[in-house]
Amino acid sequence: MDKVLDRIWRFFSSVKLAIVLIISIVATAIIGTVIQQGLPVETYVRHYGASTYRLLHFFDLFDMYHSWWFELLLILFIVNVTVCTLERLPAIFKMVSKPKLKIPMEKINAFKERQTVSYGGRKEALIASLVDRLKESYRRPVHTSSEEGDFIYLEKGRIARFGPYVTHLSLIIIFIGVLVGSFLGFDAYVNLSPGDATDIVRTTRGNQDLTLPFTIKCNDFHIEFYDSGIPKAYKSDLSLLRDNRQIARKVIDVNQPLTYRGITIYQASYGQAGASDFSIVLTSSNDGEEDLSLARNQLFPLKGDISIAVLDYSRNYQGFGPTILVGVYKGQKLQSTSIYLEKYPDFHGAEKIEGYGIRFIKAHESYYTGLQVAKDPGAPYVAGGAIVLIIGLLMSFFSYRRRVWLFIPEKFDGTFTVAGVADRNKYSFEFEFEKLVGSIREICSPTVEGKDTVPPSPSDKGTKDGRR
Protein backbone atom coordinates (compact mmCIF):
# COMPACT_ATOMS: atom_id res chain seq x y z
CA MET A 1 0.00 0.00 0.00
CA ASP A 2 2.79 2.37 0.97
CA LYS A 3 4.49 1.52 -2.27
CA VAL A 4 1.42 2.55 -4.26
CA LEU A 5 1.15 5.84 -2.38
CA ASP A 6 4.83 6.40 -2.90
CA ARG A 7 4.48 5.87 -6.63
CA ILE A 8 1.50 8.21 -6.83
CA TRP A 9 3.44 10.83 -4.89
CA ARG A 10 6.40 10.51 -7.21
CA PHE A 11 4.15 10.69 -10.26
CA PHE A 12 2.77 14.02 -9.06
CA SER A 13 6.12 15.46 -8.04
CA SER A 14 7.54 15.61 -11.55
CA VAL A 15 8.08 18.74 -13.59
CA LYS A 16 7.51 16.65 -16.70
CA LEU A 17 3.92 16.03 -15.59
CA ALA A 18 3.50 19.78 -15.00
CA ILE A 19 4.60 20.55 -18.54
CA VAL A 20 2.35 17.86 -20.02
CA LEU A 21 -0.61 19.20 -18.01
CA ILE A 22 0.04 22.84 -18.93
CA ILE A 23 0.27 21.96 -22.62
CA SER A 24 -2.97 19.93 -22.35
CA ILE A 25 -4.72 22.85 -20.65
CA VAL A 26 -3.46 25.25 -23.33
CA ALA A 27 -4.46 22.96 -26.19
CA THR A 28 -7.97 22.33 -24.87
CA ALA A 29 -8.53 25.94 -23.76
CA ILE A 30 -8.02 26.99 -27.38
CA ILE A 31 -10.99 24.83 -28.44
CA GLY A 32 -13.30 26.88 -26.23
CA THR A 33 -12.25 30.11 -27.89
CA VAL A 34 -12.90 28.74 -31.38
CA ILE A 35 -16.27 27.16 -30.59
CA GLN A 36 -18.44 29.88 -29.05
CA GLN A 37 -19.50 28.84 -25.57
CA GLY A 38 -22.96 28.82 -24.03
CA LEU A 39 -25.14 29.59 -27.07
CA PRO A 40 -28.67 28.15 -27.40
CA VAL A 41 -28.86 24.58 -28.67
CA GLU A 42 -30.71 25.57 -31.89
CA THR A 43 -27.86 27.87 -32.90
CA TYR A 44 -25.36 25.02 -32.64
CA VAL A 45 -27.57 22.57 -34.50
CA ARG A 46 -28.09 25.08 -37.29
CA HIS A 47 -24.37 25.77 -37.50
CA TYR A 48 -22.89 22.30 -37.13
CA GLY A 49 -25.70 19.99 -38.14
CA ALA A 50 -27.37 17.49 -35.82
CA SER A 51 -24.77 14.71 -35.84
CA THR A 52 -21.73 16.96 -35.34
CA TYR A 53 -23.70 18.73 -32.64
CA ARG A 54 -24.26 15.44 -30.78
CA LEU A 55 -20.56 14.59 -30.98
CA LEU A 56 -19.40 18.00 -29.74
CA HIS A 57 -22.09 17.99 -27.07
CA PHE A 58 -20.93 14.56 -25.88
CA PHE A 59 -17.52 16.07 -25.10
CA ASP A 60 -19.12 19.12 -23.43
CA LEU A 61 -17.45 21.36 -25.98
CA PHE A 62 -20.21 23.98 -25.76
CA ASP A 63 -19.51 24.56 -22.08
CA MET A 64 -16.04 23.08 -21.98
CA TYR A 65 -14.53 25.28 -19.25
CA HIS A 66 -17.02 23.72 -16.83
CA SER A 67 -16.80 20.20 -18.23
CA TRP A 68 -15.67 17.39 -15.94
CA TRP A 69 -12.56 16.69 -18.02
CA PHE A 70 -11.34 20.29 -18.12
CA GLU A 71 -11.92 20.69 -14.40
CA LEU A 72 -10.10 17.39 -13.87
CA LEU A 73 -7.11 18.76 -15.79
CA LEU A 74 -7.10 21.86 -13.57
CA ILE A 75 -7.37 19.75 -10.39
CA LEU A 76 -4.55 17.43 -11.52
CA PHE A 77 -2.45 20.52 -12.20
CA ILE A 78 -3.10 21.92 -8.72
CA VAL A 79 -2.28 18.55 -7.11
CA ASN A 80 0.89 18.47 -9.20
CA VAL A 81 1.90 21.96 -8.07
CA THR A 82 1.11 21.16 -4.43
CA VAL A 83 3.11 17.93 -4.41
CA CYS A 84 6.05 19.57 -6.21
CA THR A 85 6.06 22.32 -3.58
CA LEU A 86 5.80 19.98 -0.57
CA GLU A 87 8.43 17.70 -2.07
CA ARG A 88 11.06 20.36 -2.53
CA LEU A 89 10.41 22.98 0.14
CA PRO A 90 11.99 21.25 3.21
CA ALA A 91 15.24 20.66 1.35
CA ILE A 92 15.25 24.28 0.21
CA PHE A 93 14.76 25.50 3.78
CA LYS A 94 17.67 23.39 4.94
CA MET A 95 19.84 24.45 2.04
CA VAL A 96 19.22 28.12 2.68
CA SER A 97 19.50 28.12 6.47
CA LYS A 98 22.69 26.03 6.54
CA PRO A 99 24.82 27.06 3.59
CA LYS A 100 27.91 25.00 2.83
CA LEU A 101 30.66 27.34 3.91
CA LYS A 102 33.39 24.89 2.97
CA ILE A 103 33.45 22.73 -0.06
CA PRO A 104 35.80 19.89 -1.03
CA MET A 105 38.37 20.41 -3.76
CA GLU A 106 36.81 17.84 -6.12
CA LYS A 107 33.62 19.85 -6.12
CA ILE A 108 35.43 23.09 -6.76
CA ASN A 109 37.19 21.51 -9.70
CA ALA A 110 33.84 20.48 -11.16
CA PHE A 111 32.47 24.02 -11.26
CA LYS A 112 32.20 25.59 -14.67
CA GLU A 113 32.88 29.02 -13.26
CA ARG A 114 36.33 28.71 -11.80
CA GLN A 115 39.43 30.87 -12.08
CA THR A 116 42.76 31.22 -10.37
CA VAL A 117 43.91 34.58 -9.15
CA SER A 118 47.39 35.43 -8.02
CA TYR A 119 48.45 37.61 -5.18
CA GLY A 120 51.94 38.55 -4.20
CA GLY A 121 51.49 39.27 -0.51
CA ARG A 122 50.85 37.43 2.71
CA LYS A 123 47.82 35.19 3.13
CA GLU A 124 46.43 36.95 6.22
CA ALA A 125 46.51 40.36 4.51
CA LEU A 126 44.79 38.83 1.47
CA ILE A 127 41.94 37.33 3.52
CA ALA A 128 41.46 40.50 5.53
CA SER A 129 41.28 42.77 2.52
CA LEU A 130 39.05 40.36 0.55
CA VAL A 131 36.53 40.02 3.40
CA ASP A 132 36.60 43.76 3.89
CA ARG A 133 36.26 44.77 0.26
CA LEU A 134 33.75 42.15 -0.81
CA LYS A 135 31.32 43.39 1.85
CA GLU A 136 30.49 46.16 -0.60
CA SER A 137 28.75 43.83 -3.00
CA TYR A 138 28.03 40.71 -0.89
CA ARG A 139 26.04 41.08 2.26
CA ARG A 140 28.19 38.94 4.50
CA PRO A 141 31.34 37.22 3.31
CA VAL A 142 31.95 34.31 5.72
CA HIS A 143 35.49 33.29 6.43
CA THR A 144 36.20 29.76 7.72
CA SER A 145 39.37 27.74 7.86
CA SER A 146 40.14 24.03 7.80
CA GLU A 147 43.18 21.84 7.48
CA GLU A 148 43.17 22.25 3.72
CA GLY A 149 43.04 26.01 3.80
CA ASP A 150 40.79 29.04 4.15
CA PHE A 151 37.39 29.60 2.58
CA ILE A 152 35.53 32.80 1.99
CA TYR A 153 31.88 32.14 1.20
CA LEU A 154 29.84 34.69 -0.74
CA GLU A 155 26.11 34.46 -1.38
CA LYS A 156 23.50 36.59 -3.12
CA GLY A 157 19.80 36.30 -3.90
CA ARG A 158 18.89 33.83 -1.16
CA ILE A 159 15.26 34.97 -1.30
CA ALA A 160 15.01 33.82 -4.92
CA ARG A 161 15.14 30.22 -3.70
CA PHE A 162 11.65 30.71 -2.27
CA GLY A 163 10.26 32.62 -5.25
CA PRO A 164 8.99 29.60 -7.20
CA TYR A 165 7.36 28.17 -4.07
CA VAL A 166 5.67 31.46 -3.25
CA THR A 167 4.39 31.50 -6.84
CA HIS A 168 3.14 27.91 -6.58
CA LEU A 169 1.57 28.64 -3.19
CA SER A 170 -0.34 31.53 -4.78
CA LEU A 171 -1.93 29.11 -7.28
CA ILE A 172 -3.10 26.95 -4.39
CA ILE A 173 -4.58 30.01 -2.62
CA ILE A 174 -6.35 31.07 -5.83
CA PHE A 175 -7.69 27.53 -6.27
CA ILE A 176 -9.08 27.54 -2.71
CA GLY A 177 -10.75 30.88 -3.47
CA VAL A 178 -12.30 29.46 -6.63
CA LEU A 179 -13.62 26.44 -4.69
CA VAL A 180 -15.06 28.62 -1.90
CA GLY A 181 -16.74 30.82 -4.50
CA SER A 182 -18.24 27.93 -6.43
CA PHE A 183 -19.68 26.25 -3.32
CA LEU A 184 -20.77 29.24 -1.26
CA GLY A 185 -21.34 31.93 -3.88
CA PHE A 186 -23.83 32.55 -6.65
CA ASP A 187 -24.11 34.55 -9.82
CA ALA A 188 -27.54 35.65 -11.01
CA TYR A 189 -29.35 38.34 -12.97
CA VAL A 190 -32.67 40.14 -13.01
CA ASN A 191 -34.30 42.72 -15.28
CA LEU A 192 -36.39 45.46 -13.68
CA SER A 193 -38.47 48.27 -15.14
CA PRO A 194 -38.59 51.53 -13.18
CA GLY A 195 -41.04 51.07 -10.29
CA ASP A 196 -40.69 47.27 -10.20
CA ALA A 197 -39.43 45.31 -7.23
CA THR A 198 -38.47 41.67 -6.71
CA ASP A 199 -36.58 39.35 -4.39
CA ILE A 200 -36.25 36.58 -6.97
CA VAL A 201 -33.30 36.46 -9.35
CA ARG A 202 -32.24 33.88 -11.92
CA THR A 203 -28.88 32.10 -11.76
CA THR A 204 -26.61 32.61 -14.75
CA ARG A 205 -25.52 28.97 -14.82
CA GLY A 206 -28.36 26.52 -14.42
CA ASN A 207 -31.07 29.13 -14.92
CA GLN A 208 -32.81 28.60 -11.59
CA ASP A 209 -34.78 30.94 -9.37
CA LEU A 210 -33.03 32.15 -6.28
CA THR A 211 -34.66 34.10 -3.44
CA LEU A 212 -32.63 36.96 -2.01
CA PRO A 213 -32.74 37.93 1.68
CA PHE A 214 -34.06 41.35 0.57
CA THR A 215 -36.15 42.94 -2.16
CA ILE A 216 -34.54 44.99 -4.91
CA LYS A 217 -36.62 47.95 -6.05
CA CYS A 218 -35.75 49.96 -9.12
CA ASN A 219 -36.82 53.53 -8.36
CA ASP A 220 -35.59 54.91 -11.63
CA PHE A 221 -33.46 54.10 -14.65
CA HIS A 222 -31.63 56.69 -16.63
CA ILE A 223 -29.72 56.38 -19.88
CA GLU A 224 -27.76 58.90 -21.91
CA PHE A 225 -26.45 58.54 -25.44
CA TYR A 226 -23.64 60.15 -27.37
CA ASP A 227 -24.62 61.88 -30.61
CA SER A 228 -23.48 58.81 -32.50
CA GLY A 229 -26.12 56.73 -30.73
CA ILE A 230 -23.83 54.63 -28.53
CA PRO A 231 -24.64 54.72 -24.82
CA LYS A 232 -22.73 57.23 -22.71
CA ALA A 233 -23.96 56.21 -19.28
CA TYR A 234 -26.72 54.15 -17.73
CA LYS A 235 -27.64 54.26 -14.11
CA SER A 236 -30.22 52.62 -11.89
CA ASP A 237 -31.55 54.17 -8.71
CA LEU A 238 -32.01 51.12 -6.49
CA SER A 239 -33.48 50.58 -3.04
CA LEU A 240 -33.04 47.42 -1.03
CA LEU A 241 -36.06 46.63 1.14
CA ARG A 242 -36.66 44.22 3.97
CA ASP A 243 -40.11 43.96 5.61
CA ASN A 244 -41.03 47.01 3.51
CA ARG A 245 -38.32 49.01 5.19
CA GLN A 246 -35.52 50.52 3.14
CA ILE A 247 -32.15 49.11 4.23
CA ALA A 248 -29.98 50.60 1.48
CA ARG A 249 -30.25 52.94 -1.47
CA LYS A 250 -27.78 53.84 -4.18
CA VAL A 251 -27.63 54.99 -7.79
CA ILE A 252 -25.51 52.33 -9.42
CA ASP A 253 -23.53 52.75 -12.59
CA VAL A 254 -21.37 50.42 -14.67
CA ASN A 255 -18.20 50.19 -12.54
CA GLN A 256 -20.12 51.54 -9.50
CA PRO A 257 -21.97 48.60 -7.91
CA LEU A 258 -23.96 48.38 -4.68
CA THR A 259 -22.85 45.91 -2.02
CA TYR A 260 -24.99 44.82 0.92
CA ARG A 261 -23.94 42.03 3.30
CA GLY A 262 -21.67 40.33 0.77
CA ILE A 263 -24.20 40.47 -2.06
CA THR A 264 -23.26 42.89 -4.82
CA ILE A 265 -25.61 44.33 -7.42
CA TYR A 266 -23.99 45.40 -10.67
CA GLN A 267 -25.30 47.53 -13.51
CA ALA A 268 -24.83 44.96 -16.24
CA SER A 269 -27.08 45.90 -19.17
CA TYR A 270 -30.30 47.53 -20.25
CA GLY A 271 -33.01 46.85 -22.75
CA GLN A 272 -36.02 48.43 -24.35
CA ALA A 273 -39.25 47.70 -22.53
CA GLY A 274 -42.66 48.18 -24.09
CA ALA A 275 -43.67 50.96 -26.46
CA SER A 276 -41.91 54.27 -26.80
CA ASP A 277 -43.67 57.61 -26.81
CA PHE A 278 -42.96 60.42 -29.25
CA SER A 279 -43.63 64.10 -28.48
CA ILE A 280 -44.77 65.95 -31.56
CA VAL A 281 -46.10 69.47 -32.11
CA LEU A 282 -48.73 69.98 -34.79
CA THR A 283 -48.98 73.48 -36.23
CA SER A 284 -51.62 74.91 -38.48
CA SER A 285 -52.54 78.43 -39.50
CA ASN A 286 -56.09 77.98 -38.15
CA ASP A 287 -55.69 76.01 -34.91
CA GLY A 288 -52.24 77.21 -33.76
CA GLU A 289 -50.05 74.62 -32.03
CA GLU A 290 -51.09 71.35 -30.52
CA ASP A 291 -48.84 69.04 -28.43
CA LEU A 292 -49.20 65.35 -29.13
CA SER A 293 -47.81 62.27 -27.53
CA LEU A 294 -47.99 59.25 -29.82
CA ALA A 295 -47.01 55.66 -29.32
CA ARG A 296 -45.44 53.83 -32.22
CA ASN A 297 -48.00 52.94 -34.95
CA GLN A 298 -50.78 54.74 -33.09
CA LEU A 299 -53.06 56.42 -35.65
CA PHE A 300 -53.94 60.05 -35.01
CA PRO A 301 -56.85 61.49 -37.04
CA LEU A 302 -55.81 64.74 -38.68
CA LYS A 303 -58.67 65.83 -40.86
CA GLY A 304 -61.53 63.89 -42.35
CA ASP A 305 -60.31 60.34 -43.08
CA ILE A 306 -56.63 61.41 -43.15
CA SER A 307 -54.55 60.31 -40.18
CA ILE A 308 -50.85 60.06 -39.27
CA ALA A 309 -48.74 57.60 -37.31
CA VAL A 310 -45.10 57.34 -36.20
CA LEU A 311 -43.87 54.25 -38.04
CA ASP A 312 -40.21 54.14 -37.16
CA TYR A 313 -37.57 55.81 -35.05
CA SER A 314 -33.80 56.06 -35.27
CA ARG A 315 -31.61 57.42 -32.51
CA ASN A 316 -29.12 58.70 -35.06
CA TYR A 317 -30.37 58.71 -38.65
CA GLN A 318 -27.36 59.02 -40.99
CA GLY A 319 -25.53 61.16 -38.45
CA PHE A 320 -28.32 63.72 -38.13
CA GLY A 321 -29.52 62.69 -34.70
CA PRO A 322 -32.94 61.42 -33.54
CA THR A 323 -35.38 61.02 -36.39
CA ILE A 324 -38.92 59.68 -36.85
CA LEU A 325 -40.63 58.28 -39.90
CA VAL A 326 -44.21 59.48 -40.14
CA GLY A 327 -46.81 57.76 -42.34
CA VAL A 328 -49.87 59.45 -43.75
CA TYR A 329 -52.98 57.24 -43.96
CA LYS A 330 -56.17 57.63 -45.91
CA GLY A 331 -58.53 55.38 -44.00
CA GLN A 332 -56.40 52.30 -43.27
CA LYS A 333 -54.22 52.74 -46.35
CA LEU A 334 -50.69 54.13 -46.20
CA GLN A 335 -50.42 57.02 -48.65
CA SER A 336 -46.94 58.42 -48.13
CA THR A 337 -44.14 58.78 -45.59
CA SER A 338 -41.75 61.52 -44.61
CA ILE A 339 -39.04 61.99 -41.99
CA TYR A 340 -38.73 64.58 -39.25
CA LEU A 341 -35.50 65.37 -37.41
CA GLU A 342 -35.34 66.49 -33.81
CA LYS A 343 -32.30 68.68 -34.35
CA TYR A 344 -33.14 70.04 -37.80
CA PRO A 345 -36.85 70.97 -37.71
CA ASP A 346 -36.62 72.67 -41.11
CA PHE A 347 -35.17 69.67 -42.90
CA HIS A 348 -36.90 69.10 -46.29
CA GLY A 349 -38.79 72.32 -45.63
CA ALA A 350 -40.59 70.31 -42.91
CA GLU A 351 -43.13 68.84 -45.27
CA LYS A 352 -46.67 69.80 -44.46
CA ILE A 353 -49.46 67.27 -44.37
CA GLU A 354 -52.89 68.58 -45.28
CA GLY A 355 -51.80 72.03 -44.20
CA TYR A 356 -50.41 70.82 -40.87
CA GLY A 357 -46.77 71.33 -39.98
CA ILE A 358 -45.12 68.63 -37.88
CA ARG A 359 -42.28 69.20 -35.44
CA PHE A 360 -40.61 66.25 -33.75
CA ILE A 361 -39.70 67.24 -30.18
CA LYS A 362 -38.44 64.16 -28.40
CA ALA A 363 -38.65 60.40 -28.14
CA HIS A 364 -39.41 58.95 -24.73
CA GLU A 365 -38.03 55.49 -24.76
CA SER A 366 -38.83 53.24 -21.85
CA TYR A 367 -36.09 50.92 -20.72
CA TYR A 368 -35.58 48.20 -18.20
CA THR A 369 -32.36 47.85 -16.27
CA GLY A 370 -30.33 44.63 -16.42
CA LEU A 371 -28.85 43.86 -13.02
CA GLN A 372 -26.32 41.26 -12.11
CA VAL A 373 -26.56 39.98 -8.56
CA ALA A 374 -23.56 38.08 -7.29
CA LYS A 375 -22.02 36.82 -4.11
CA ASP A 376 -18.50 35.46 -4.07
CA PRO A 377 -17.00 34.81 -0.64
CA GLY A 378 -13.99 33.27 -2.41
CA ALA A 379 -13.03 36.49 -4.20
CA PRO A 380 -10.84 37.86 -1.35
CA TYR A 381 -8.79 34.63 -1.43
CA VAL A 382 -8.43 34.90 -5.18
CA ALA A 383 -7.35 38.55 -4.84
CA GLY A 384 -4.89 37.68 -2.07
CA GLY A 385 -3.57 34.78 -4.16
CA ALA A 386 -3.13 37.10 -7.15
CA ILE A 387 -1.02 39.50 -5.06
CA VAL A 388 1.08 36.60 -3.74
CA LEU A 389 1.48 35.44 -7.36
CA ILE A 390 2.97 38.76 -8.43
CA ILE A 391 5.26 38.86 -5.37
CA GLY A 392 6.38 35.29 -6.07
CA LEU A 393 7.14 36.08 -9.72
CA LEU A 394 9.14 39.16 -8.73
CA MET A 395 11.07 37.11 -6.15
CA SER A 396 11.86 34.36 -8.65
CA PHE A 397 12.72 36.47 -11.65
CA PHE A 398 14.49 39.51 -10.42
CA SER A 399 16.84 37.62 -8.20
CA TYR A 400 18.56 34.24 -8.24
CA ARG A 401 20.77 32.59 -5.71
CA ARG A 402 24.45 32.38 -6.59
CA ARG A 403 27.23 31.17 -4.35
CA VAL A 404 30.93 31.82 -4.67
CA TRP A 405 33.79 30.21 -2.73
CA LEU A 406 37.25 31.66 -2.53
CA PHE A 407 39.66 28.91 -1.60
CA ILE A 408 43.08 29.91 -0.29
CA PRO A 409 45.19 26.76 0.25
CA GLU A 410 46.98 26.15 3.55
CA LYS A 411 50.31 26.17 1.74
CA PHE A 412 49.76 29.51 0.03
CA ASP A 413 51.89 29.73 -3.11
CA GLY A 414 50.64 33.09 -4.35
CA THR A 415 47.55 31.78 -6.17
CA PHE A 416 44.06 31.00 -4.96
CA THR A 417 40.86 29.76 -6.55
CA VAL A 418 37.57 31.53 -7.09
CA ALA A 419 34.70 29.22 -7.96
CA GLY A 420 31.00 29.90 -8.20
CA VAL A 421 27.68 28.41 -9.09
CA ALA A 422 24.22 29.82 -9.72
CA ASP A 423 21.08 27.81 -9.01
CA ARG A 424 19.79 28.87 -12.38
CA ASN A 425 20.22 31.72 -14.81
CA LYS A 426 23.68 30.28 -15.41
CA TYR A 427 24.26 32.41 -18.46
CA SER A 428 23.79 35.69 -16.64
CA PHE A 429 25.95 34.34 -13.86
CA GLU A 430 28.86 33.89 -16.26
CA PHE A 431 28.91 37.65 -16.78
CA GLU A 432 28.56 38.37 -13.11
CA PHE A 433 31.27 35.88 -12.23
CA GLU A 434 33.68 37.44 -14.69
CA LYS A 435 32.94 40.84 -13.20
CA LEU A 436 33.49 39.50 -9.69
CA VAL A 437 36.80 37.90 -10.64
CA GLY A 438 37.76 41.21 -12.23
CA SER A 439 37.09 43.08 -9.02
CA ILE A 440 38.94 40.43 -6.98
CA ARG A 441 41.95 40.87 -9.26
CA GLU A 442 41.67 44.58 -8.66
CA ILE A 443 41.66 44.03 -4.90
CA CYS A 444 44.75 41.89 -5.34
CA SER A 445 46.54 44.25 -7.69
CA PRO A 446 49.51 46.18 -6.24
CA THR A 447 48.09 49.63 -7.13
CA VAL A 448 45.30 49.05 -4.70
CA GLU A 449 47.12 47.04 -2.07
CA GLY A 450 50.29 49.07 -1.79
CA LYS A 451 53.38 48.13 0.18
CA ASP A 452 52.76 44.52 1.01
CA THR A 453 52.66 43.24 -2.57
CA VAL A 454 54.88 42.53 -5.54
CA PRO A 455 53.47 42.97 -9.04
CA PRO A 456 52.34 39.61 -10.44
CA SER A 457 54.25 38.40 -13.47
CA PRO A 458 52.20 38.34 -16.69
CA SER A 459 52.53 34.59 -17.02
CA ASP A 460 50.48 33.72 -13.96
CA LYS A 461 47.91 36.46 -14.34
CA GLY A 462 45.17 33.95 -13.75
CA THR A 463 44.61 30.93 -15.95
CA LYS A 464 41.25 30.15 -17.32
CA ASP A 465 40.84 26.52 -16.59
CA GLY A 466 37.61 24.65 -16.57
CA ARG A 467 36.82 26.10 -19.96
CA ARG A 468 38.32 25.43 -23.32
For binding to other proteins (CB under 8 A), which residues are involved? 15, 18-19, 22-23, 25-26, 29-30, 32-34, 36-37, 65, 164, 187, 226, 228, 230-234, 253-255, 257, 264, 266-268, 372-374, 376, 379, 382-383, 386-387, 389-390, 393-394, 397-398, 424-428, 430-431
Of the pair 151, 234, the CB lying nearest other proteins is at 234
Least distance between other proteins and beta carbon 258 (Å): 11
Gap between the Cα atoms of 364 and 313, Å rounded:
11
Q: Which is nearer to other proteins, 119 or 433 (CB)?
A: 433
Q: How far is the CB of 179 from other proteins (least distance, A)?
A: 14
Q: How far is CA 278 from the centre of its chain?
A: 45
Name which of 205 and 330 has its Cβ closer to other proteins: 205
Q: How far apart are CA 196 and CA 366, in angstroms?
A: 13
Q: How far is the CB of 328 from other proteins (least distance, A)?
A: 33
Backbone torsions φ then ψ of 397, nearest 5 degrees: -90, -35
Q: Which is nearer to other proteins, 174 or 408 (CB)?
A: 174
Nearer to other proteins, 68 or 427 (CB): 427
User: From the CB of 366, what's the least distance to other proteins, in Å?
Assistant: 19
Q: How far is the CB of 157 from other proteins (least distance, A)?
A: 14
Shortest Cβ 453–other proteins spacing (Å): 34
Closest CA to 322 of 312, 313, 331, 335: 313
Smallest gap from residue 135 Cβ to other proteins (A): 26
Sequence-distant (≥ 6) Cβ neighbours of residue 401 within 8 angstroms: 96, 155, 156, 157, 158, 160, 161, 422, 423
**Closest CB to other proteins among 179 and 386?**
386
**Shortest distance in whole angstroms from residue 185 CB to other proteins:** 9
Residues whose CB falls within 8 Å of the CB of residue 423, separated by 6 or more in sequence, listed in order: 160, 161, 400, 401, 402
SS3 labels along the chain: CHHHHHHHHHHHCCHHHHHHHHHHHHHHHHHHHHCCCCCCHHHHHHHHCHHHHHHHHHCCCCCHHHCHHHHHHHHHHHHHHHHHHHHHHHHHHHHHHCCCCCCCHHHHHHCCEEEEEECCCCHHHHHHHHHHHHCCCCCCCEEEECCCEEEEEEEECHHHHHHHHHHHHHHHHHHHHHHHHHHHCEEEEEEECCCCEEEEEEECCCCCEEEEEEEEEEEEEEEEECCCCCEEEEEEEEEEEECCEEEEEEEEECCECEEECCEEEEEEEEEECCCCEEEEEEEECCCEEEEEEEECCCCEEEECCEEEEEEEEECCHHHCCCEEEEEEEECCEEEEEEEEECCCCCHHHCCCECCEEEEEEEEECCEEEEEEEEECCCHHHHHHHHHHHHHHHHHHHCCCCEEEEEEEECCCCCEEEEEEEECCCHHHHHHHHHHHHHHHHHHHCHHHHCCCCCCCCHHHCCCCCCCC
Q: Which is nearer to other proteins, 55 or 387 (CB)?
A: 387
For other proteins, the closer of residues 418 and 422 by Cβ is: 422
- In this complex, which beta carbon is closest to other proteins, that of residue 8 or of residue 39? 39
Shortest distance in whole angstroms from residue 214 CB to other proteins:
17
Closest approach of other proteins to the CB of residue 129, in Å: 32
CB of 66 or CB of 122, closer to other proteins: 66
CA distance 374 to 205: 12
Cβ-based nearer residue to other proteins, 363 or 389: 389
Q: How far is the CB of 464 from other proteins (least distance, A)?
A: 16
Nearest approach, Cβ of residue 51 and other proteins (Å): 25
Of 187 and 365, the one with the shorter C-beta distance to other proteins is 187
